[in-house]
Amino acid sequence: MNFWKLLFRSWFYFRIGYNTYFAFLIGFASNIIVIYKLGIAENKILSTIQIGLTFFAVLALLIMVPLCISIGLYHMRRTGAFAAEASVGTESNPYMYKIIPGKEREVFLPLWIATVRGLARVLDREKTMTAEEKRQLEDILSKADALLKGEFIGYSGQQSLGRTA
């Protein structure tokens, strides 16, 4: 693995770990403490109730967890925001336009190409393929050959983004 690939992978893992776990837990705890301090401890009316920080945190969790699950579910199923996010993620993923290294490159695509070429020979011998069908098949096979060479297909914007992975 080259240095830049290792650097970007490390950066990605750092962001995931920090954003998903570390910052989330610290942010949640600090929000609970600030809301408790400003909303209950400093409030003249509510401070007479004598609610402790632990009780307040448990109460906040009991309210926030179902509320946040509902909001997340709404975001995923009822808004266009998730669809737009998924679309951008798909468009920026280089493996949507290249073959995945490993079994796809080494086994599946070569097997499909060999199968299609054999089928094309049989159809050509039987004279059952039109010129248009033959041209379409050759076009598809040339794209499959390009994939095996590691080239992008389908979206030329990937090259302009500087992606060569």
Q: How far apart are CA 77 and CA 98, in angstroms?
A: 29
Q: How many residues does the chain have?
A: 165
What is d(CA 99, CA 80) in angstroms, rounded to the nearest whole number?
A: 29
Tell whether 164 is covered by a domain: no
Alpha carbon separation from 1 to 9, 93, 151 (Å, rounded): 10, 19, 20
Is residue 154 situated within a structural domain? no
Residue 155 has pLDDT above 70, yes or no: no
Distance CA 120, CA 56 (A): 71
Distance CA 112, CA 95 (A): 18
Q: Is 116 helix (H, G, I), strand (E, B) or coil?
A: helix
Q: Which amino acid, 40?
A: I
* Residue 49 confidence (pLDDT): 78
Query: Distance between CA 117 and CA 148 in Å, rounded?
Result: 15
Question: Which pLDDT score is estimated for 110?
Answer: 93
**What is the per-residue pLDDT across 78-93, written as a single tens digit (0 to 9) for each?**
888 888 888 888 888 8
Query: Structural domain tally of the chain?
Result: 2
- Please check whether residue 140 lies inside any domain of the structure: yes
Mean pLDDT confidence for 98-102: 85
Res. 2: pLDDT tops 70: yes
Range of the domain at 14: 3-78
What per-residue confidence (pLDDT) applies to 95? Answer: 75
Of 20-34, 47-61, 83-97, 123-137, where does mean pLDDT reach its minimum? 83-97
What mean pLDDT do residues 129-135 have? 92
Whether pLDDT at 165 is above 50: no
**What local confidence, expressed as pLDDT, does residue 82 receive?**
85
42 DSSP assignment = S
Each residue's pLDDT tens digit, 113-124: 999 999 999 998
Say yes or no: 72 and 126 in one domain: no
Residues 13 and 74 placed together within one structural domain of the fold: yes
> What is the value of pTM for the model shown?
0.52
Q: Read off the pLDDT of residues 41-73 as tens digits, 9 standing for 90 and up.
A: 787 777 777 788 899 899 999 999 999 999 999
The rounded distance, in Å, linking the Cα atoms of 104 and 144 is 11
